[in-house]
Amino acid sequence: MRPTDIRVPDYFHKVVDCQWACPAHTPVPEYIRLIAAGRYADAYLVNWKSNVFPGVLGRTCDRPCEPACRRGRVEENNGESPEPVAICRLKRVAADNKGDVRARLPRAGKPNGRRVACVGAGPASLTVARDLAPLGYQVTVFDGEAKAGGFIRSQIPRFRLPESVIDEETGYILDLGVEFRAGERIDSLKALLGQGYDAIFVGSGAPRGRDLDLPGRQECAANIHIGIDWLASVSFGHIESIGRRVIVLGGGNTAMDCCRSARRLGGADVKVLVRSGFDEMKASPWEKEDAQHEGIPILDYHVPKAFLHENGRLAAMQFERVRAERDARGRRQLVPTGEPDVVVECDDVLIAVGQENAFPWIERDAGIAFDEWGMPVVDKQTFQSTLPQVFFGGDAAFGPKNIIWAVAHGHEAAVSIDKLLNGEDVHERPPPQVTLLSQKMGIHEWSYDNEVSPEDRHKVPWAPSEQTLGNIKVEVELGFDAQTALKETQRCLNCDVQTVFTDKVCIECDACVDICPMDCISFTANGEEAELRQRLTAPALNTEQALYVSGELKTHRVMVKDEDVCLHCGLCAERCPTGAWDMHKYLIEMTHAGPGCRSKGACREAA
Amino acid sequence: MTFIAKPKLHHPTLPQNALCFTRRDYEGKISTLCAGCGHDSISAAIIQACWELNVEPHRLAKLSGIGCSSKTPDYFLGQSHGFNTVHGRMPSVLTGANLANRELLYLGVSGDGDSASIGIGQFVHAIRRGVNMTYIVENNGVYGLTKGQFSATADQGSTSKRGVVNADSPIDLIGLALQLGATYVGRGFSGDKAQLVPLIKGAIAHRGAAFLDVISPCVAFNNHAGSTKSYEYVRAHNEAVNRLDVIPEREEIAVDYPAGSTIEVEQHDGSRLRLHKLAADYDPRDRIAAMNHVQQRQARGEVVTGLLYVDAQAEDLHTHLNTVATPFNRLGAAELSPGSAVLAKINAGFR
């Protein structure tokens, strides 16, 4: 293998699994250390800069970081069940305890004369506004609702996300001099284009809930509700009750929100019925757990066949039992088991079987190309549509995802808008800024806490269910208290503090090999990667994780470090007599809109 | 030294031996020696060897004297018996322990100061008596604890870190051991575990006095140009006579080696030492030839390593003294005080 070039920003970025997995590349270990130090406001601002809604995300994020967390792999075969660090819930700790940070937030920039319109006031649009307003852009956000937040406000039940948190975090953005045109639903792109905006960002989400056209659908319409519309009505207080027996159809997170909301609005007997198997459901595992914890059964392999009615009223639903089988090509298929159909009695049905994009307000001759599925043609990197000054992001761009993706799209679209309006090529994206800094403080002292906590993941305490099930506005999770949060922070392995190896000074004494608790380090003859992975101190079987290979050493061997389960404990560096190993903190500054995203020539010009 | 304890977490695929122990179960406390000390590598090699041999930790006693090397038993086999004795007196304590309980494995760990200076009288007699033990000298040619004076094994003409030339001739521990009748003699290098681990395994499996001289560079005081015990010097002058595989009893290895390229020696416990010749015509079963070979190469400045001599059918001190087979701690009052009739019989034998 060729020596690893650690100057490539992606190399060490991938080692910080959580940050790499996060669409917005939030520097997770950095803010976890700040939480450990009790610097909650600083931790909040590190988050705010990259993911814009720490308080919201600390409660609702889909947490792509957690399945990626190295702690989960490290605890494999080292105790009961391997668990990642509770990254998401630590984020909430920062948000809950930060105090007043308003003085530290940016202010509206000196007007640069450019006007940007954002369609929809969801997380994607608000991120664009947050990134552009401090640069002097005059940003106008249009939304059909009275308050900003989009699906954050309408879809997420209050028992998971109190409205005060939404008000606070959308408020931080609107306070940047952003004009919020509430109650103004855009119904014509052409008309908007005619208003002379320099750029338009479409962050209108995927607002249409999919329906199920089954026998009886029309007859029972009064008691059949589309999940996302029903959640919005609950959110805005238009609906305050539901029948005693409720069926929720679907296996995604919306279905979980529907069933738990129904449970709180009078649904004593709520069931979720889903076509697929339990494990294949789209809902996050913890959301399924939360629903089951509240006594809601999830019945899998039930395919809805018909709505049954009596005297013009919904009475029950009929389901076909199926099982999963692989066909000749190995594709998973649901085939009927042949058992008699199941009839489940009910008073109301909530349909949460998916969402669709809908752009009835974009005239097809406005200049924006649509693909065969009715989705706008959008560049995956720049988020630009075929009309150069129109950009798409969030669910509106590539279909339903979640908040953190919308934020990531918003950042990139803001970069594109900033470049476009500065006369630059939007496809030219400057790489992120990276700093690597030694953390050595003394002979065996580091600026980070390198002792590895042996503790298991801590559970977030819940409010008593007699309180939470009786009132839809009572938040279920209480968040970590400061002490538990501190203990949980210590489970973080500080993967951003990188093991950096300098082959020139290595004397091959084996001290690092001997001390490494995880057998990550080998000194061996070089070879092809596949073969080399087999003959290391411990076999490196996780090919997703890189091998760090040094240049040739004096004995013509190379140092090979398997990054997979490194604890970043720094013992290799502590036991190294020559400083060939050192612990360097890796900080990556993602390119956001502003001078940093523009080409160097332009910067010099500006200077 | 390192302030934090080595984390208990281990690699998810860390294998277990026949006793269901992982290698990590054979570790001791975290080392307080200087970073990069060769002794730590030897500790790691001992851990690896004991794990591979399925040694029951409570069946092994580690004994040492005073010095950097003699501190190391604290850093391996934390579940085994240990005795950190007086300076240079480890061989006597080990001999006594061995006489009292012949069923334990005895691992003596010493240094060039402990064995070649203050304890040389003890060392030579333990060897010549054929005490059943593995005697490891962690040899760095320097007094590290007292900041780098030459030790008795420092080569004549080598220089100290400050540039002082050593005028005294060195004590050749390998030569002494061969001459005094050690029945398993090897030399290893802390920087080459692939060679060292089998040497230790063979020594533990050997019955009789097994002596290993392990060159172990002192990174703090003896790893400079001019030293003959530095990583660089030993790597440049290392002349291995053979490569050793220790094959446990009843284990068949199907690989065929060309005739004449290997020597196989069966030890008393049924395990076999398979030696892959690196130096042509070197036969480690020939003591005189081994002595000659080592001396010739040493005169040329080479560091001869490998299994230098083995007498697989050696006898040990217990055989020489015809001692009782049962350890003292299991002898009851009836055996220890057989009564007046037996005493009368013994007395009658002297009349």
State the smallest CA–CA distance between residue B347 and chain A in angstroms: 60
A83 near B CB under 8 A: no
State the smallest CA–CA distance between residue B99 and chain A in angstroms: 34
pLDDT of residue A604: 44
Question: What is the CB-side half-sphere exposure of residue A140 using CA atoms within 13 A?
Answer: 16
Provide the 10 A C-beta neighbour count for residue B261. Answer: 11
Q: Which of B2, B43, B191 sits opposite A509 (nearest CB)?
A: B191
pLDDT tens string A147-163: 999 999 999 999 999 99
Q: Are B334 and B342 in contact (CB under 8 A)?
A: no
- CB contact under 8 Å between A454 and B235, yes or no, is no
A454 near B CB under 8 A: yes
Q: Give the pLDDT band (50/70/90) at residue A412.
A: very high
CA nearest to B191 within chain A:
A509
Would you say residue A314 lies in a domain? yes
Q: Closest by alpha carbon to A155, among A411, A399, A355, A359?
A: A355
SS (H, E, C) A546-599: CEEECCCCCCCCEEEEECCCCCCCCHHHHCCCCCCEEEEEEEEECCCCCHHHCC
State the smallest CA–CA distance between residue A58 and chain B in angstroms: 29
pLDDT of residue A530: 95
Do residues A219 and A344 both lie within one domain? yes
Would you say residue A226 lies in a domain? yes
CA nearest to B29 within chain A:
A515
Q: Is A309 left (phi over 0), alpha (psi -120 to 50) or beta?
A: beta
Q: What is the mean pLDDT of residues A315-336?
A: 91
Would you say residue A346 lies in a domain? yes
Return d(Cα B247, Cα A308) in angstroms, integer. 76
Residue B333, burial from CB neighbour count under 10 angstroms (0-12, 13-18, 19+): exposed
What ranges in B53-131 are assigned the alpha helix state H? 68-71, 90-100, 112-113, 120-129
- CB contact under 8 Å between B38 and A514, yes or no, is no
CATH label of the domain that carries residue A255: 3.50.50.60
- CB contact under 8 Å between A75 and B9, yes or no, is yes
pLDDT of residue B254: 56
Q: Which residues of B touch A78 (CB under 8 A)?
A: 8-10, 12
Would you say residue A485 lies in a domain? no
pLDDT tens string A372-394: 988 999 999 999 999 999 999 99
State the smallest CA–CA distance between residue B228 and chain A in angstroms: 15
Q: Which of B2, B3, B11 sits opposite A575 (nearest CB)?
A: B2
Would you say residue A500 lies in a domain? no
Tell which wins on pLDDT, A330 or A546.
A546
CA nearest to B38 within chain A:
A509
Q: Quote the ipTM score.
A: 0.91
Do residues A313 and A198 both lie within one domain? no
Would you say residue A266 lies in a domain? yes
Q: Closest by alpha carbon to A159, among A470, A535, A501?
A: A470
A473 near B CB under 8 A: no
Phi first, then psi, for residue B136 (nearest 5°) are -110, 120
- CB contact under 8 Å between B37 and A515, yes or no, is no
Find which of A514, A565, A576 to mutate to test the B interface (most B CBs within 10 Å of its CB). Answer: A514
Do residues A134 and A269 both lie within one domain? no
pLDDT of residue B277: 80
A461 near B CB under 8 A: no
- Write out the DSSP string of A153-168: HHTS-TTTS-HHHHHH
- CB contact under 8 Å between B219 and A577, yes or no, is yes
A507 near B CB under 8 A: yes
**Residue A256, SS3 per DSSP:** helix
Give, for A57, the enclosing helix (H) or strand (E).
Answer: helix A54-60
Find which of A575, A578, A581, A583 to mutate to test the B interface (most B CBs within 10 Å of its CB). Answer: A575
CA nearest to A77 within chain B:
B12
The residues, any chain, with a CB within 8 Å of residue B263's CB and separated by 6 or more, are B242, B274, B275, B277, B283, B284, B285
Do residues A237 and A200 both lie within one domain? no
Do residues A274 and A350 both lie within one domain? yes
Do residues A310 and A407 both lie within one domain? no
Q: Are B233 and B243 in contact (CB under 8 A)?
A: no
Provide the 10 A C-beta neighbour count for residue A115. Answer: 18
Tokens of B178: 């061969």
What letter represents residue A34's amino acid?
L
- CB contact under 8 Å between B40 and A576, yes or no, is no
Q: Which of A450, A515, A565 sits opposite B11 (nearest CB)?
A: A565
- Chain A and chain B share a number of CB contacts under 8 A equal to 107
- CB contact under 8 Å between B219 and A452, yes or no, is no
CATH fold of B23-242+279-321 reads Rossmann fold (3.40.50)
Do residues A160 and A246 both lie within one domain? no
- CB contact under 8 Å between A577 and B235, yes or no, is no
Do residues A226 and A302 both lie within one domain? yes
**CB contact residues (below 8 A), chain A span 513-572, against chain B:** 513-515, 517-520, 538-539, 541, 554-555, 565, 567, 569, 571
Chosen domain end from A394, A420, A446: A420
**Residues of chain B that touch chain A, judged by Cβ-Cβ distance less than 8 Å:** 1-14, 24, 30-31, 34-38, 40-41, 43-44, 190-191, 193, 217, 219-220, 223, 231-232, 235
Mean pLDDT per block of 10 residues along chain B (351 residues) reads 86 95 96 94 97 97 97 97 97 97 97 96 96 97 94 95 95 96 96 95 96 96 95 94 84 61 82 82 91 92 94 92 93 90 94 90
Average pLDDT of chain A is 94
- CB contact under 8 Å between A567 and B10, yes or no, is no
- CB contact under 8 Å between A454 and B7, yes or no, is yes
DSSP category for residue A236: T
Do residues A330 and A390 both lie within one domain? no
State the smallest CA–CA distance between residue A8 and chain B in angstroms: 28
Q: Which residues of A touch B6 (CB under 8 A)?
A: 515, 517, 571
Cα-Cα end-to-end distance for chain A: 44
Do residues A147 and A135 both lie within one domain? yes
Q: Which residue range(s) make up the domain with A147?
A: 106-207+357-420
pLDDT tens string A419-448: 999 999 999 998 888 999 999 998 888 999
**Residue A40, SS3 per DSSP:** helix
Q: Give the pLDDT band (50/70/90) at residue A603.
A: very low
Q: Which of A445, A450, A510 sits opposite B41 (nearest CB)?
A: A510
* CA distances (Å), origin B170, targets B12, B123, B150: 47, 16, 10
What letter represents residue A287's amino acid?
E
In the predicted structure, residue A601 carries a pLDDT above the cut 70 = no
Q: Closest by alpha carbon to B176, among B83, B91, B62, B70?
A: B91
Do residues A172 and A253 both lie within one domain? no
- CB contact under 8 Å between B35 and A511, yes or no, is yes
State the smallest CA–CA distance between residue A572 and chain B in angstroms: 10
Tokens 């500054």: give the residue.
Answer: A589
Q: Give the pLDDT band (50/70/90) at residue A607.
A: very low
Q: Count H helices, E strands: chain B? A: 12, 13
* CA distances (Å), origin A63, targets A33, A90, B62, B343: 19, 12, 51, 84
- CB contact under 8 Å between B4 and A571, yes or no, is yes
State the smallest CA–CA distance between residue A277 and chain B in angstroms: 30
Q: What is the mean pLDDT of residues A330-341?
A: 90
The residues, any chain, with a CB within 8 Å of residue A103's CB and separated by 6 or more, are none
State the smallest CA–CA distance between residue A7 and chain B in angstroms: 28
Do residues A223 and A197 both lie within one domain? no
Would you say residue A433 lies in a domain? no
CA nearest to A516 within chain B:
B6
State the smallest CA–CA distance between residue B282 and chain A in angstroms: 26
State how many domains chain A has.
2
- CB contact under 8 Å between A511 and B191, yes or no, is no
Find which of A510, A533, A534 to mutate to test the B interface (most B CBs within 10 Å of its CB). Answer: A510
Q: What is the mean pLDDT of residues A487-505?
A: 97
SS (H, E, C) A136-154: CCEEEEEECCCCCCCHHHH
pTM of structure: 0.91
Q: Which residues of B touch A513 (CB under 8 A)?
A: 44
State the smallest CA–CA distance between residue A575 and chain B in angstroms: 4
* CA distances (Å), origin A477, targets A397, A464, B326: 32, 10, 67
Q: Are B91 and B123 in contact (CB under 8 A)?
A: yes
Return d(Cα B314, Cα B312) in angstroms, integer. 6
Q: Give the pLDDT band (50/70/90) at residue A600.
A: low
- CB contact under 8 Å between A74 and B191, yes or no, is no
Cα A58-A64-A70 angle, rounded to 5 deg: 105
- Write out the DSSP string of A334-382: EEE--PPPEEEE-SEEEE-S-EE---TTS-TTSS--B-TTS-B---TTT
- CB contact under 8 Å between B36 and A574, yes or no, is no
Tokens of A540: 């490196």
- CB contact under 8 Å between A517 and B35, yes or no, is no
pLDDT of residue A207: 85
Give, for B2, the enclosing helix (H) or strand (E).
Answer: none
